[in-house]
Chain A
Amino acid sequence: MSASAVFVLDLKGKVLICRNYKGDVDMSEIDHFFTLLVQQEEEGLLCPVMSHGNVHFLWIKHSNLYLVATTNKNSNASLVYAFLYKLVEVFTEYFKELEEESIQDNFVVVYELLDELMDFGFPQTTDSKILQEYITQQGNKLEVAKTKVPTTVTNAVSWRSEGIRYKKNEVFIDVIESINVLVNANGSVMSSDIVGSIKLKTMLSGMPELRLGLNDRMLFALTGRDKGKAVTMEDVKFHQCVRLSRFESDRTISFIPPDGESELMSYRINTHVKPLIWIESVIEKFSHSRVEIMVKAKGQFKKQSVANNVEIRVPVPSDADSPKFKTSTGHAKYVPEKNLVVWSIKSFPGGKEFLMRAHFGLPSVENHEMEGRPPITVKFEIPYFTVSGIQVRYMKIIEKSGYQALPWVRYITQSGGERRFLNG
């Protein structure tokens, strides 16, 4: 069904730790993994699934580690990858950082976790908050008699334990939107979408029932309410605490939240948005002598708003040298290991326009290596503002003890993926 065994390997392909779940694949098969990987890398045809004989390797890479699952069956590949990523998540929450050292430093806990996370190839409890209740790094302090299975593990509510207490009951809601815009060389927007995410920081006692109200157009249509601005969400994904069938039937977002931080939901909106920071660039390359770059950035959002921590990354040829910059605001820095100029602007008010000029020398010998033409990318954050206009209309919190709880909402817009401003 899924994995026969799971391995954690270092960058040289040495096994750091492994767990054999099913015993139907010889554990020494892993020796072929790295050879295959190197071979594929050389051919430039890297693929997340590789096979040797009738053994299949499904792998992901995380910092300086490879996480590999082996199987010789027609396994559910998406389950295996989702599990490997979950492994990374759990280990990261346990050890802060997941890397070669943290595996070695904590091998006993890693073994315990591997034992608890998956049984015979079937993923089991993978919620690290719950796991931390009975698998801890201070294992030696826990005597058997005191360690019990938290009932949460097998409860229908498997993500929240009972008996949580806070003096002050609060929930913080962050609505974070990232916009992805692709602009081609002649300045037209090829595609754009908004990916939003609603994150919670829950500090509530007991087993509270929450209901989140958004200005969701489908919901308004269902309830016959038609006032104010509504938003059409193309697709919505929920944390497993949300009752999906309820949402399906009447668009109500109701749930018992996990304690602490979690991503409640994410959504995608397909609307035509223009880039919030518009970039124009002229790159003039004089072979054998120099390259001159001019970049103009314009804030295409409301005057009252301010974009913070703006970073505009402009690619330069890999053989460029002796950089010189001139900026109308912020400062520019050459990052030779990435072949980039990074122009940073602390705060960028809407409607304003700024300019940067860069000058690089080029060697007289022609560089024959083909170079890609990476896009210019822009990073920023605009607080108190969402592009889609999505709003949290209410957050109802009901707990049987009847306490009053306060919801806090913050909105923020970020640049998402890439923008492509290719130029000649």
Chain B
Amino acid sequence: MTDSKYFTTTKKGEIFELKAELNSDKKEKKKEAVKKVIASMTVGKDVSALFPDVVNCMQTDNLELKKLVYLYLMNYAKSQPDMAIMAVNTFVKDCEDLNPLIRALAVRTMGCIRVDKITEYLCEPLRKCLKDEDPYVRKTAAVCVAKLHDINAQLVEDQGFLDTLKDLISDSNPMVVANAVAALSEIAESHPNSNLLDLNPQTINKLLTALNECTEWGQIFILDCLASYLPRDDRESQSICERVTPRLSHANSAVVLSAVKVLMKFMEMLPKDLDYYGTLLKKLAPPLVTLLSAEPELQYVALRNINLIVQKRPEILKHEMKVFFVKYNDPIYVKLEKLDIMIRLASQANIAQVLAELKEYATEVDVDFVRKAVRAIGRCAIKVEQSAERCVSTLLDLIQTKVNYVVQEAIVVIKDIFRKYPNKYESVIATLCENLDSLDEPEARAAMIWIVGEYAERIDNADELLESFLEGFHDESTQVQLQLLTAIVKLFLKKPTETQELVQQVLSLATQDSDNPDLRDRGYIYWRLLSTDPVAAKEVVLAEKPLISEETDLIEPTLLEELICHIGTLASVYHKPPSAFVEGSRGVQHKRLPPRAGSGESTESPDVGQSGPSEAPPAVIPSQGDLLGDLLNLDLAPPTATVPSVQPSMQMGAMDLLGGGLDSLLGGDIGGSPSMGAGLGAAPAAMPASLGGAPAVGGGLGDLFDLGGGVGMPTGSYVAPKTVWLLAMKAKGLEISGTFARRGGIIQMDLSLTNKAMSVMTDFAIQFNRNSFGLAPAGPLQVLTPLSPNQTIDVSLPLSTSGPVMKMEPLNNLQVAVKNNIDVFYFSCQYPLSLLFVEDGKMDRQVFLATWKDIPNDNEAQFQIKDIHLNSDVASNKLQGSNIFTIAKRTVEGQDMLYQSVKLTNGIWVLAEMRIQTGNPNYTLSIKCRAPEVCPFVYQCYELVLKN
């Protein structure tokens, strides 16, 4: 006899009948009726009308019946809040039952009844259960606090349950500890500012002890909680790591991944020269590999995480290529992820094997997998230079298979290979051209057209080929249209005599017959360029392109760091920060890796020397550069290889001032068509000199040079006097005062360290938190001799702007950590923005005009600078000392207007107009910038400079 019989009653009047049965005197009948009710509920029938009758059955000594009634309550209490109150008495009573099973059941269930009205009645029973003698009840009550907090946070706080919960971390029973940790973490997650989990070495020690004794799930709660702790120093970090590593041998994959998370995070704090660091690296590889024998879904999570780990610390798995080889019966999602990791691990040492595998994959049947395999061959070519030739010949073999999608994919990647190794593999062009007709995907067509245009001079019938595409111009996708336009212009510049007609045709198609603004604008730009100055056109259109690199698909470093902190979670599976997909988490602090510690580290300029994909830290910058290059060269519209890496930084949104600034500048230049020529000419400031400093721009250039040359760099920038940043009483006797200066293009932080303690201080080191402009120490803090008591030492620390970027509030805020033999101290200070004004910040006059117009008026800010008694020339001279350049001066009716430009280290331009009326000590300053948030800080600099 099975329970399925309960599902079979479908007669009419069922509810009525059930009601009668529920009120029956016979216990057995009652229970049968409740089972029928639950069965109906299970299949989705609404049985809420029976609420009072079911609740009446609650007072029973039959455990099974009680559980069923409780289940019913959880389901329907919300829809019958008034009646739910009927249940309160039973809960209160059950919480005092002799049997701990009943007590726990009651406390577990009552937390699931999400009716605000009854919550306050539950506080007393909960309080008792939290102190229950039976650990089974206590562990259930701990979770109940989290439930109650979810319904009514205020109530939980007022009742002091949070403190009780914190006390449970010291409970003698490991299961209770684990659940208390889980509940606290859950509450802390929804209330990031509650400071609930103020972990300290004592609590950490308790957690680590419980870790050895609790269930596998409890171990995960504890490990996840540990991961949010920030050890005080590398020694503590190491000792936690030592106690966490045994978890790597746990049979449960989730325990292993959570342990990996803790280790990956805390490793950051260990000095790389420490023996233990190397040991730990070695210990991580085997468990990661073993995860690949878990169930496919767990493999998938593991692979997504390995993808991150390989980018963060490529050395861990560099010898494990083979385990990522695809198996025939792997699910597709596992196959695709393995492929991705294979490319990341590809190196000269293993490339032959990898290519042999990839070639096999490319002959499989699953289209998506095959495409990705072909693409992977191209990525190998770009990544491992020595293998490029082999890759190209493999691709050609694949093209010979004539499988349509294989051919198309191969052509797309060959285009990228051409961009990486120009003038090397052109011999294959003929083979590619043979397949022209079979290309029906826009990306492949665009790639082929790009190749034809780029190598037009070597393809005899390039004009015919391009013409054939032109016939159906309007049916092509935008990508292909843009590409065709550029390719034909390139062709024209290379073979002007035969292709005049063709170029006319495409220009008119693009400008007159198309309603796509991008296409039209690009058409006009070409047209104007070609008609006004063919030489310049050639220099712009046929300019050397920056080479694409294999770094382009790497995750942007700040995001990578954040994702490492989320190993094992959905964020690590999506490769997106939680704020991107969890509602209400936008204000939540982004998790970060602990600051790198260890004094050895700051001197050795760590990663750069080693090979491996993720070792080039400023990956965003090159990819931004690429984007710039692409736009300038008007290359393939969405540059396939670069886009993925740009996206993550865009997702970071406002966090990334740098990205935003550059992009918006670019956007403006391209958009505003009249300024176009000039905009293109001026942008090379951020470009390799290949565009040759805009020779095409005549006019105002001459007198600008005069101005610049005449003034030179006479005064040097203003340096504020030192102020105290760190009080001795807050830093165990170390007092730090300092200021910032920019000297000859070098940013320096001038520090005075005073020892006001009784003992000698040694081993100084300094680190900055991420900041708005990526300021970072360019070298170690040079305090060579120990600092004796009452001694003061002055140090100048050179700074670079290539550190990690994060927007700060205020913008110019800098958080600094200084370490000595005694402790680590933190302080924050603010730097004048003029620190970041670069020496080549003088904008061309025409560009200035165009840019000024182009920046929307909303971005303009006006300020008053009061009580200045300088004439305009002296003022402009003074400002020039701080790299605020006057581009032009106009005098209208006794009023001097100075037009000035400033460029920041990250490429943001600031334009200013300063009005000085003779006899009036108050200047009016208007500042325009695409990143308006910098304006007030620029104004501050004006004031500082002019008043000192």
**Residues of A at under 8 Å CB distance from B?**
1, 15-17, 20, 22-24, 44-49, 51, 54, 56, 58-60, 71-79, 81-85, 101, 104-108, 111-112, 115, 119-126, 134, 139-140, 142-145, 147-149, 153-154, 156, 158, 182, 184, 190-191, 195, 234-240, 242-245, 247-248, 263, 265-266, 268, 370-375, 417-418, 420, 422
In the complex, the chain B residue whose C-beta lies closest to that of A43 is B368
Cβ of B524 within 8 Å of any chain A Cβ, yes or no, is: no
- Chain B residues whose C-beta falls within 8 Å of the C-beta of A58 in the assembled complex: 297
Q: Tell me which of B3, B44, B249 contacts A248 (CB under 8 A).
A: B249
Cβ of B750 within 8 Å of any chain A Cβ, yes or no, is: no
Question: Are A237 and B246 in contact, CB atoms less than 8 angstroms apart?
Answer: no
Q: Tell me which of B31, B66, B135 contacts A154 (CB under 8 A).
A: B135
Q: Tell me which of A75, A153, A247, A420 contacts B569 (CB under 8 A).
A: A75
- Chain B residues whose C-beta falls within 8 Å of the C-beta of A51 in the assembled complex: 581
Cβ of B7 within 8 Å of any chain A Cβ, yes or no, is: yes
Question: Are A371 and B365 in contact, CB atoms less than 8 angstroms apart?
Answer: yes
A-B contact pairs, 21 of them (CB 8 A): A1-B185, A1-B186, A20-B75, A23-B112, A44-B332, A76-B258, A105-B3, A107-B3, A107-B42, A119-B179, A120-B186, A122-B221, A124-B179, A139-B63, A143-B63, A148-B100, A156-B174, A235-B287, A237-B290, A247-B249, A373-B364
Question: Are B295 and A182 in contact, CB atoms less than 8 angstroms apart?
Answer: no
User: From residue 540 to 575 of chain B, which have CB atoms closer than 8 A to chain A?
Assistant: 566, 568-574
Give, as a whole number of angstroms, the nearest-CB distance from B473 to chain A. Answer: 31
Question: Are B325 and A148 in contact, CB atoms less than 8 angstroms apart?
Answer: no
In the complex, the chain B residue whose C-beta lies closest to that of A1 is B186
Question: Are B251 and A49 in contact, CB atoms less than 8 angstroms apart?
Answer: no
Q: Tell me which of B147, B325, B581 contacts A191 (CB under 8 A).
A: B325
CA of A153 to CA of B217, assembled, Å: 13
Q: Which of B208-216, B656-664, B700-708, B736-744 contacts A (4 or more CB under 8 A)?
A: B208-216
Question: Are A139 and B64 in contact, CB atoms less than 8 angstroms apart?
Answer: yes
Question: Are A237 and B251 in contact, CB atoms less than 8 angstroms apart?
Answer: yes
- Chain B residues whose C-beta falls within 8 Å of the C-beta of A16 in the assembled complex: 42
- Chain B residues whose C-beta falls within 8 Å of the C-beta of A108 in the assembled complex: 3, 35, 38, 64, 68
CA of A85 to CA of B185, assembled, Å: 24
Cβ of B382 within 8 Å of any chain A Cβ, yes or no, is: no
Not counting A75-B569, A78-B253, A111-B38, a sample of 13 additional A-B residue pairs whose C-beta atoms are within 8 angstroms of each other reads A1-B186, A45-B368, A73-B570, A76-B224, A81-B301, A111-B71, A119-B140, A119-B143, A120-B183, A144-B102, A234-B289, A236-B249, A239-B251
Question: Are B104 and A245 in contact, CB atoms less than 8 angstroms apart?
Answer: no
CA of A373 to CA of B329, assembled, Å: 11
In the complex, the chain A residue whose C-beta lies closest to that of B300 is A48
Question: Are B212 and A123 in contact, CB atoms less than 8 angstroms apart?
Answer: no
Give, as a whole number of angstroms, the nearest-CB distance from B156 to chain A. Answer: 14
In the complex, the chain B residue whose C-beta lies closest to that of A142 is B63
- Chain B residues whose C-beta falls within 8 Å of the C-beta of A72 in the assembled complex: 582-583
- Chain B residues whose C-beta falls within 8 Å of the C-beta of A143 in the assembled complex: 61-63
- Chain B residues whose C-beta falls within 8 Å of the C-beta of A236 in the assembled complex: 249
Q: Which 6 A-B pairs have the closest CB atoms?
A: A235-B286, A105-B2, A244-B246, A139-B64, A74-B578, A248-B246
Q: Tell me which of A15, A22, A156 contacts B44 (CB under 8 A).
A: A15
Question: Are A44 and B571 in contact, CB atoms less than 8 angstroms apart?
Answer: no
> B136-177: contact bitstring with A at CB < 8 Å (1 yes, 0 no)?
100110010011001000000000000000000000011110
CA of A77 to CA of B112, assembled, Å: 23
Give, as a whole number of angstroms, the nearest-CB distance from A20 to chain B. Answer: 7
Question: Are B582 and A22 in contact, CB atoms less than 8 angstroms apart?
Answer: no
Cβ of B383 within 8 Å of any chain A Cβ, yes or no, is: no
In the complex, the chain A residue whose C-beta lies closest to that of B364 is A372
Question: Are B71 and A115 in contact, CB atoms less than 8 angstroms apart?
Answer: yes
Question: Are A104 and B182 in contact, CB atoms less than 8 angstroms apart?
Answer: no
Question: Are A73 and B189 in contact, CB atoms less than 8 angstroms apart?
Answer: yes
- Which one of A20, A239, A268 has the highest number of Cβ atoms from chain B below 10 Å of its Cβ? A268
CA of A124 to CA of B140, assembled, Å: 9
Question: Are B246 and A247 in contact, CB atoms less than 8 angstroms apart?
Answer: yes
- Chain A residues whose C-beta falls within 8 Å of the C-beta of B313 in the assembled complex: none
User: From residue 281 to 315 of chain B, which have CB atoms closer than 8 A to chain A?
Assistant: 286-287, 289-290, 293, 295-298, 300-302
CA of A147 to CA of B97, assembled, Å: 13
Question: Are B176 and A48 in contact, CB atoms less than 8 angstroms apart?
Answer: no
> B567-608: contact bitstring with A at CB < 8 Å (1 yes, 0 no)?
011111110001001110100000000000000000000000
- Chain A residues whose C-beta falls within 8 Å of the C-beta of B214 in the assembled complex: 156
Question: Are B247 and A244 in contact, CB atoms less than 8 angstroms apart?
Answer: yes
Question: Are B217 and A122 in contact, CB atoms less than 8 angstroms apart?
Answer: yes
**Residues of B at under 8 Å CB distance from A?**
2-4, 6-7, 31, 35, 38-39, 42, 44, 61-64, 66-68, 71, 74-75, 99-102, 104, 108, 111-112, 114, 134-136, 139-140, 143, 146-147, 150, 173-176, 179, 182-183, 185-186, 189, 212-217, 220-221, 224, 243, 245-247, 249-254, 257-258, 286-287, 289-290, 293, 295-298, 300-302, 322-323, 325, 327-329, 331-333, 353, 356-357, 360, 363-368, 566, 568-574, 578, 581-583, 585
CA of A72 to CA of B182, assembled, Å: 17
- Chain A residues whose C-beta falls within 8 Å of the C-beta of B290 in the assembled complex: 235, 237, 268
Question: Are B257 and A46 in contact, CB atoms less than 8 angstroms apart?
Answer: no
CA of A234 to CA of B292, assembled, Å: 14
Give, as a whole number of angstroms, the nearest-CB distance from B147 to chain A. Answer: 5
- Chain A residues whose C-beta falls within 8 Å of the C-beta of B102 in the assembled complex: 144
CA of A79 to CA of B218, assembled, Å: 11
CA of A30 to CA of B172, assembled, Å: 40
Given A48-B297, A81-B298, A248-B246, are A17 and B42 also a contact pair (CB < 8 Å)?
A: yes
- Chain B residues whose C-beta falls within 8 Å of the C-beta of A147 in the assembled complex: 63, 99, 101
Question: Are B217 and A148 in contact, CB atoms less than 8 angstroms apart?
Answer: no
Q: Tell me which of B216, B333, B582 contacts A48 (CB under 8 A).
A: B333
- Chain B residues whose C-beta falls within 8 Å of the C-beta of A71 in the assembled complex: 570
Question: Are A106 and B298 in contact, CB atoms less than 8 angstroms apart?
Answer: no
In the complex, the chain B residue whose C-beta lies closest to that of A233 is B286
Give, as a whole number of angstroms, the nearest-CB distance from A73 to chain B. Answer: 6
Question: Are A106 and B3 in contact, CB atoms less than 8 angstroms apart?
Answer: yes
Question: Are B249 and A372 in contact, CB atoms less than 8 angstroms apart?
Answer: no
Question: Are B328 and A418 in contact, CB atoms less than 8 angstroms apart?
Answer: yes
Given A142-B64, A147-B101, are A238 and B251 also a contact pair (CB < 8 Å)?
A: yes
Question: Are A158 and B175 in contact, CB atoms less than 8 angstroms apart?
Answer: yes
CA of A51 to CA of B570, assembled, Å: 11
CA of A24 to CA of B147, assembled, Å: 11
Given A54-B583, A85-B295, A111-B67, are A418 and B329 also a contact pair (CB < 8 Å)?
A: yes
Give, as a whole number of angstroms, the nearest-CB distance from A156 to chain B. Answer: 4
In the complex, the chain A residue whose C-beta lies closest to that of B138 is A154
Give, as a whole number of angstroms, the nearest-CB distance from A310 to chain B. Answer: 20
- Chain A residues whose C-beta falls within 8 Å of the C-beta of B3 in the assembled complex: 104-108
Question: Are A372 and B571 in contact, CB atoms less than 8 angstroms apart?
Answer: no
- Chain B residues whose C-beta falls within 8 Å of the C-beta of A44 in the assembled complex: 332, 366-368
- Chain A residues whose C-beta falls within 8 Å of the C-beta of B134 in the assembled complex: 149, 154
Q: Tell me which of A84, A190, A238 contacts B250 (CB under 8 A).
A: A238
CA of A372 to CA of B175, assembled, Å: 50
- Chain A residues whose C-beta falls within 8 Å of the C-beta of B327 in the assembled complex: 182, 417-418
Give, as a whole number of angstroms, the nearest-CB distance from B687 to chain A. Answer: 39
Q: Tell me which of B254, B329, B569 contacts A74 (CB under 8 A).
A: B569
Given A115-B108, A149-B134, are A1 and B249 also a contact pair (CB < 8 Å)?
A: no
- Which one of A47, A84, A119, A374 has the highest number of Cβ atoms from chain B below 10 Å of its Cβ? A119
Question: Are B243 and A126 in contact, CB atoms less than 8 angstroms apart?
Answer: no
Question: Are B581 and A120 in contact, CB atoms less than 8 angstroms apart?
Answer: no
Given A104-B3, A144-B62, A154-B135, are A78 and B325 also a contact pair (CB < 8 Å)?
A: no
In the complex, the chain A residue whose C-beta lies closest to that of B101 is A149
Give, as a whole number of angstroms, the nearest-CB distance from B75 to chain A. Answer: 8
CA of A245 to CA of B323, assembled, Å: 28
Question: Are B7 and A104 in contact, CB atoms less than 8 angstroms apart?
Answer: yes
- Chain B residues whose C-beta falls within 8 Å of the C-beta of A105 in the assembled complex: 2-4
Give, as a whole number of angstroms, the nearest-CB distance from A72 to chain B. Answer: 7
Give, as a whole number of angstroms, the nearest-CB distance from A420 to chain B. Answer: 7
- Chain B residues whose C-beta falls within 8 Å of the C-beta of A24 in the assembled complex: 150
Question: Are A107 and B101 in contact, CB atoms less than 8 angstroms apart?
Answer: no
- Which one of A184, A236, A247 has the highest number of Cβ atoms from chain B below 10 Å of its Cβ? A236
